[in-house]
Structure 1
């Protein structure tokens, strides 16, 4: 595949507006690239209308199966006046491709796709299988990855690469914080503000929860040597009907970033204990819900997949990558809950412009990623330790 075709694949994927929806168009485009290869297994898994996950499997040989994954959704572009180019134009300037998702993470996804296409075009004998898991909804809850995991598409992988951006592929991420997004609803009773005693102030009750939650979650104070400590922030709050009425409803949302020392259940138990305690008080009526929480990824800094990634990094870049952790969650947290015992790493192209205006990826960075993924797949599937482990599974 020539350089221009590789660039064109990324441009076309960026040009599809998949802001928290419409991933089916991305899935259809990627599928079309593989339609001329009869031995490729192509499956679209519907999450919702216009939201299809895509699973592509190449290789017929017995042996390990390597997972590649990237998400097809992007965040909203924000204020268009802050962009130098249309965020869905995939404009090329100064050896960069600009656009929403150029870094997070359509360049990583496109690089995985191009690497698979090159292996197929060159007739490379693959000593095992490679499965691409292209997901919906990563930016808003990783529910595409959750769906694919529940349906068995990640079962018994030998390893998984998550192509999220990692400083132009100069970092290998093996551990990551988990995340808990929660919402607390407070129900009160409306009344005229001149007679507040006739009502129940839902905002007042919510503020009591607010302070108790901040105070009691401070006890989760262990520090991970790579990821740091737990963070907890109240990030959204609203309530009330009008200024001269006692509010009958209020709600807040909180965000917790967890570390491997603390399973998410510890936080659920604490938050729910606060809710139960307050609901014993007169006038309190609180309820809590969670939005697609993810466990922290502990990982192993000396796992075989990291050793192979470093070997490949030396081959392609002539240097070692930094082995470290990430403060953000990724789809790997869901896929690691599949059957089997495998490790995941996160390594991908991209700049430090994720979710920002004028998001871009260096073209050289993107092209290097294609070369890396292609070589990594061959190194991984030929590795004796990986093959021996896989033979015990199949």
Structure 2
């Protein structure tokens, strides 16, 4: 069987970038990845439907009893924005200056492609694995991590020995073990319309929403602890709209807020505080407010000295010739969902990519991507062969 050269590895990355999976259409990505493994009958391939044209993909290789390492990456990308701001078509995967340009090149199709290629190389070389490797390719990470939530609920992450999330971490130079959580919420305000010349006959939904706005910003300030790695809690009102026309008292208004949490404060603290504000205001005459949440994620506390980090550090030094920085991430990732699966395991975040996530002219260095392939392949072997990992798994069998 012909072994892949670097050009083929780059072509796989380009093909995945060229599939437009902006908040949808992940099935086409899943189908393409599946096709790469179809010549290996020993691979277990499962597509798990979330919605039409939105399939998660779960690939499992290895048959020997032993630990199972989870690898994960998401297949969706954010919208490219103003196309005039791009030097190349965002779905062309153009190569220039030793970089691959395109939407998702950094976040995170290069990480996903590197995982795929690493598994293909293990199969092509017919390496006998001392355990199993499971690739969890998800839908909807950018808009709520609901693909990861579905796979977790259905048991695909149960009893993993460890999880690697291939999100970009400063050109593979950082190993992330802890991450902020996120709460996106929406508050709806219902009023009563009236002519603006006679406002006393109506109830101004915008005015009532502004009262909530100020109370929420003020009261959440009490969550003021600072995490030594992640920093403090952040809370921002990021979207607001309301009203029907300029000469009418608005009967409806809404706002959306975004909270980034830290391990010291479970999300329930914020739910309780926000709902207390809503309840207090609804006791007042003319107020009718309601709050909902969109796919909140708990913060990942992690352990800076966990076994998976020690293994990753050693592999990083061996393969990339440098010591990785052990740090945290201000953004949430699919690991927050997968860590809720059965069993006790730790996750790390480590992947290729530049600081151009969600920006125009997003790119990944080709050398960075190829290094990620080398790292993932060796890390999987180092992890599954690790005596401490194997001992822990045998004790729980």
TM-score normalised according to structure 1 size: 1.00
Q: Any residues of structure 2 matched to 1:181-192 within 5 Å, and which?
A: 181-192=184-195
Please name the residue that 2:46 is paired with: 43
Please name the residue that 1:381 is paired with: 384
- Compute the RMSD of aligned alpha carbons: 0.4
Please name the residue that 1:280 is paired with: 283
**Structure 1 residue 297 corresponds to structure 2 residue 305:** no
Displacement after TM superposition at 1:317 (Å): 1.2
Deviations 1:293-339 (A, max 9, x none): 00000000000000000000011111110000000000000000000
2:183 to 169, 175, 180: 180
Query: What secondary structure is seen at the aligned counterpart in 2 of 1:377?
Result: helix
Within 2, Cα distance between the matches of 1:80 and 1:126? 45
2:150 to 143, 147, 150: 147
Aligned length: 394
1:241 to 237, 240, 244: 244
**Structure 1 residue 360 corresponds to structure 2 residue 371:** no
- C-alpha contact (below 8 Å) 1:182/1:253 kept by paired residues: yes
In structure 2, list runs of 5 or more residues that go unmatched.
Answer: none
2:343 to 329, 340, 343: 340
Query: What secondary structure is seen at the aligned counterpart in 2 of 1:301?
Result: coil
Deviations 1:233-270 (A, max 9, x none): 00000000000000000000000000000000000000
**Structure 1 residue 257 corresponds to structure 2 residue 227:** no
The runs of at least 4 consecutive aligned structure 1 residues that moved more than 2 Å come to none
Query: What secondary structure is seen at the aligned counterpart in 2 of 1:337?
Result: coil
Deviations 1:170-223 (A, max 9, x none): 000000000000000000000000000000000000000000000000000000
- C-alpha contact (below 8 Å) 1:156/1:393 kept by paired residues: no
Within 1, Cα distance between the matches of 2:395 and 2:166? 28
2:90 to 50, 72, 87: 87
**Structure 1 residue 216 corresponds to structure 2 residue 232:** no
Displacement after TM superposition at 1:389 (Å): 1.1
**Structure 1 residue 27 corresponds to structure 2 residue 24:** no
Within 1, Cα distance between the matches of 2:155 and 2:388? 24
Query: What secondary structure is seen at the aligned counterpart in 2 of 1:88?
Result: coil
Within 1, Cα distance between the matches of 2:129 and 2:102? 34
**Structure 1 residue 103 corresponds to structure 2 residue 106:** yes
Within 1, Cα distance between the matches of 2:201 and 2:307? 66
Query: What secondary structure is seen at the aligned counterpart in 2 of 1:290?
Result: strand
Within 2, Cα distance between the matches of 1:123 and 1:233? 51
TM-score normalised according to structure 2 size: 0.99
Query: What secondary structure is seen at the aligned counterpart in 2 of 1:101?
Result: coil
Displacement after TM superposition at 1:65 (Å): 0.1
1:121 to 121, 124, 134: 124
1:268 to 262, 271, 284: 271
In structure 1, list runs of 5 or more residues that go unmatched.
Answer: none
Deviations 1:27-48 (A, max 9, x none): 0000000000001000000000
Please name the residue that 2:68 is paired with: 65
Displacement after TM superposition at 1:393 (Å): 2.9
Displacement after TM superposition at 1:353 (Å): 0.4
Deviations 1:126-178 (A, max 9, x none): 10000000000000000000000000000000000000000110000000000
Query: What secondary structure is seen at the aligned counterpart in 1 of 2:240?
Result: strand
Deviations 1:261-282 (A, max 9, x none): 0000000000000000000000
Please name the residue that 2:7 is paired with: 4
**Structure 1 residue 112 corresponds to structure 2 residue 111:** no
Within 2, Cα distance between the matches of 1:195 and 1:393? 72
Query: What secondary structure is seen at the aligned counterpart in 1 of 2:123?
Result: helix
- C-alpha contact (below 8 Å) 1:234/1:252 kept by paired residues: yes
2:173 to 170, 174, 197: 170
- C-alpha contact (below 8 Å) 1:16/1:88 kept by paired residues: yes
